[in-house]
């Protein structure tokens, strides 16, 4: 009985999620997820893998998997006032019992301009192909109830919520970066402030539709600000905070996070010496929904992270108490640093 009740609630909640994109806790570690203009800003490149399970109490339900890669195309042999960046982004979303399945693959070209001695402006575009499907497209007959809605007027065996679509969509963003001090091509400085805005689902080109395809997601707007404050309590220490807000159709979400950490800026491992270690850990609040906690360990050029969310502030009985977990693996190369 408990299992049946849980799946009924899952079906109701799945209908809400059709119109809202995933909110990844570690987006600040791969900022091209927040805003395409962030791709290729830092030196070198990085590859990021993320997995999010949005409802731990229901194994296999609402999973998000993501692979992101970015590269800084700046000429490292001379001082420049502008440079290009590029990113690649592949994502996969799954909701329970075939309710919704989505796959996307996109490219992110960006340009970064020096606007002052310590400041930079960036602009970027994300063009992606996406395939989205709902229901099991296997030719099998369904029932009058598919876990999302019930229609007694339909004879058993007639599927009314099965379909798929392929579309091209665009996302655009602008951002501002303020460094702690003027950079040279030999030394990287800390980003003490990063702020930006982005808009997603800007225009849509339908490539193919079959059956009754899922409704297209409404336009999404987000704004964010991330700040870091260095300190001398421990070596290379810093405190940090971020504020992220999002508007998508009827959904208005936001979160606030605070962190403490130790970075590896401008540090190199001595020959035969121990691996360089850094960290970043903190707490957050997802407005009206969840308490968040996350921690990441930098081991040389590799970062491992785990984040956890507990929906203890949500007043909707169907989802109150939902637990979410997210894991991160990131590798930096060719001059990339955290």
Distance in angstroms (rounded) separating the CA atoms of residues 127 and 307:
28
CB of 61 within 8 A of CB of 54? Answer: yes
Domains detected in the chain: 2-139+161-333 (2.40.160.40)
- Report the pLDDT value the prediction gives residue 302, as an integer from 0 to 100: 94
- What φ, ψ does residue 200 adopt, rounded to 5°? -120, 165
Distance in angstroms (rounded) separating the CA atoms of residues 196 and 30:
14
Name the token pair of 3.
Answer: 């299992």
Name the token pair of 8.
Answer: 């009924």
What's the predicted TM-score (pTM) here?
0.83
- Report the pLDDT value the prediction gives residue 19, as an integer from 0 to 100: 52
Torsion of CA 69, 98, 215, 288, to 10 degrees: -70
pLDDT tens string, the chain, 338 residues long: the values are 444 444 344 444 444 444 567 888 999 999 999 999 999 999 899 999 999 998 887 776 788 999 999 999 988 778 788 999 999 999 998 876 556 789 999 999 999 999 999 999 999 999 999 998 876 554 444 455 555 555 555 555 444 457 889 999 999 999 999 999 888 767 788 999 999 999 999 988 999 988 777 788 899 999 999 999 999 999 999 999 999 999 998 888 999 999 999 998 878 777 777 888 999 999 999 988 899 999 999 998 999 999 999 988 877 776 778 889 999 999 998 765 55
């Amino acid at each position: 009985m408990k299992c049946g009740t849980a799946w009924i609630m899952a079906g109701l909640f799945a209908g809400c999620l059709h119109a809202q994109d995933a909110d990844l806790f570690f987006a600040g570690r791969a900022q091209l997820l927040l805003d395409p203009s962030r791709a290729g800003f830092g030196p070198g490149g990085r590859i990021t893998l993320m997995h999010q399970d949005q409802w731990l109490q229901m194994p296999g339900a609402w999973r998000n998997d993501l692979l992101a890669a970015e590269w800084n195309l700046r000429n490292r042999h001379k001082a420049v006032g502008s440079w290009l960046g590029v990113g690649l982004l592949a994502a996969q979303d799954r909701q329970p019992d075939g309710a919704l399945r989505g796959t996307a693959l996109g490219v992110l070209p960006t340009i970064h301009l020096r606007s002052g001695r310590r400041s930079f402006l960036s602009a970027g575009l994300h063009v992606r192909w996406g395939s989205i499907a709902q229901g099991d497209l296997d030719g099998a007959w369904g029932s009058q109830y598919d876990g999302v809605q019930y229609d007694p007027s339909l004879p058993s065996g007639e599927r009314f919520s099965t379909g798929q679509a392929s579309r091209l969509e665009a996302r655009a963003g602008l951002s501002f970066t303020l460094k702690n001090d003027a950079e040279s091509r030999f030394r990287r400085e800390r980003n003490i402030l990063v702020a930006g805005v982005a808009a997603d689902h800007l225009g849509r080109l339908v490539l193919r539709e079959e059956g009754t395809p899922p409704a297209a997601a409404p336009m999404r707007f987000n704004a964010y600000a991330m700040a870091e404050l260095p300190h001398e309590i421990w070596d290379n220490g810093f405190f940090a905070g971020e504020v992220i807000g999002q508007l998508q159709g009827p959904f208005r979400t936001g979160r606030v996070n605070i962190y403490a950490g130790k970075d590896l800026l401008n540090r190199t491992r001595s020959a035969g010496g121990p691996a360089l270690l850094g960290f970043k850990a903190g707490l957050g609040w997802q407005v009206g929904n969840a308490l968040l906690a996350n921690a990441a360990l930098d081991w040389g050029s590799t970062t491992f992270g785990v984040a956890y969310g507990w929906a203890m502030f949500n007043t909707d009985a169907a989802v109150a108490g939902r637990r979410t977990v997210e894991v991160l693996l990131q590798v930096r190369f060719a001059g990339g640093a955290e």
